[in-house]
A = this chain, B = another copy of it.
Amino acid sequence: MIYMDNAATTLRKAPGVIEAVTAAMKTAGNAARGAHGPALEAAGIVYDAREKLAALLGCPRADHVIFTANATQALNTAIYGLLGPGDRAVTTDLEHNSVLRPLYALQDQGMALDILPADRQGRIRYEALEALLPGAKALVCTHASNLTGNLLDLARIAELAHRYGALLIVDAAQTAGSIPINMTELGVDLLCFSGHKGLLGPQGTGGLCIRPGVELRPLLRGGSGVRSHDRAQPPEYPTRLEAGTHNAHGLAGLGAAADWLLREGVEKLCAREQELTRRFYEGVLSIGGVTVYGDFSVWPRGSVVALNVGDLDSSAAADALYTDYGIAVRAGAHCAPRLHDALGTAERGAVRFSFSPFTTEEEIDAAAAAVRELAG
Q: Which residues from chain A sit less than 8 Å from chain B, CB to CB?
A: 1, 3, 5, 8-9, 11, 13, 17-18, 21-22, 25-30, 33-39, 42, 68-73, 75-76, 96-98, 100-102, 104-105, 194, 196, 202-206, 219-225, 228-229, 231-233, 243-250, 253, 315, 318-319, 322, 328-337, 340, 346
The 6 listed contacts between A and B (C-beta, < 8 Å) are A5-B30, A8-B29, A9-B245, A71-B244, A73-B220, A98-B222
Q: Which residues of B have CB within 8 Å of A318?
A: 34-36
Interchain CB contact (< 8 A) of A223 among B69, B98, B229 = B98
How many copies of the chain does the oligomer comprise? 2
Q: Which residues of B have CB within 8 Å of A246?
A: 203
A68-B69, A223-B98, A346-B229 known; A37 and B203 CB under 8 Å? no
Whether A245 pairs with B28 at a CB distance below 8 angstroms is no
Q: How far is the CA of A30 from the CA of B71 in the complex (A)?
A: 13
Q: Which residues of B have CB within 8 Å of A29?
A: 3, 5, 8-9, 11, 328
Whether A244 pairs with B73 at a CB distance below 8 angstroms is yes
A223-B96, A243-B98 known; A328 and B249 CB under 8 Å? no
A29-B8, A71-B244 known; A97 and B222 CB under 8 Å? yes
Whether B25 pairs with A221 at a CB distance below 8 angstroms is no
Task: Report the minimal beta-carbon distance from A3 to chain B, rounded to whole angstroms.
Answer: 7
Whether A38 pairs with B3 at a CB distance below 8 angstroms is yes
Determine the residue in chain B with the shortest Cβ distance to A13: B25
Q: Which residues of B have CB within 8 Å of A70?
A: 244-245, 247
Query: What would 4 more interface pairs be, CB under 8 Å, given A34-B330, A104-B232, A203-B250?
Result: A5-B34, A203-B247, A222-B335, A247-B247
Determine the residue in chain B with the shortest Cβ distance to A229: B337
Whether B35 pairs with A331 at a CB distance below 8 angstroms is yes
Whether A101 pairs with B232 at a CB distance below 8 angstroms is yes
Task: Report the minimal beta-carbon distance from A35 to chain B, rounded to whole angstroms.
Answer: 7
Task: Report the minimal beta-carbon distance from A201 to chain B, rounded to whole angstroms.
Answer: 10
Whether B101 pairs with A231 at a CB distance below 8 angstroms is yes
Q: How far is the CA of A327 from the CA of B346 in the complex (A)?
A: 60
Interchain CB contact (< 8 A) of A196 among B202, B243, B245 = B245
Whether B38 pairs with A319 at a CB distance below 8 angstroms is no
Whether B22 pairs with A18 at a CB distance below 8 angstroms is yes
Whether A72 pairs with B222 at a CB distance below 8 angstroms is yes
Q: Which residues of B have CB within 8 Å of A38?
A: 1, 3, 5, 11, 328
Q: How far is the CA of A29 from the CA of B6 in the complex (A)?
A: 9
Determine the residue in chain B with the shortest Cβ distance to A330: B34
Q: Which residues of B have CB within 8 Å of A248?
A: 203
Determine the residue in chain B with the shortest Cβ distance to A247: B204
Determine the residue in chain B with the shortest Cβ distance to A329: B36
Q: Which residues of B have CB within 8 Å of A247?
A: 69-70, 202-204, 247, 250
Determine the residue in chain B with the shortest Cβ distance to A336: B228
Q: How far is the CA of A27 from the CA of B203 in the complex (A)?
A: 12
